[in-house]
């Protein structure tokens, strides 16, 4: 299972991986995308930190 990670962008969007799920949230915290996380998601988010 992938490690939990959260990336918050200056414009208010949030990407996170938690419990093996990937979620993209808009600036009002509404879920836009929710699916199983991939290693590509994790590696991309780690490169942004």
pLDDT value at residue 1? 76
pLDDT, one tens digit per residue, over 1-49 is 789 999 999 999 999 999 999 999 999 999 999 999 999 999 999 999 8
pLDDT value at residue 2? 87
**Are 13 and 25 within 8 A, CB to CB?**
yes
Domain span at residue 21?
5-48
pTM, entire model: 0.91
d(Cα 44, Cα 5) in Å, to the nearest integer?
Answer: 11
């Amino acid at each position: 299972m992938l490690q939990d990670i959260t990336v918050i962008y200056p414009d208010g969007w949030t990407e996170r991986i938690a419990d093996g799920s990937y979620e993209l949230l808009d600036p009002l915290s509404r879920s836009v995308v929710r699916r199983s996380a991939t290693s590509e998601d994790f590696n991309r988010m780690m490169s942004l930190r």
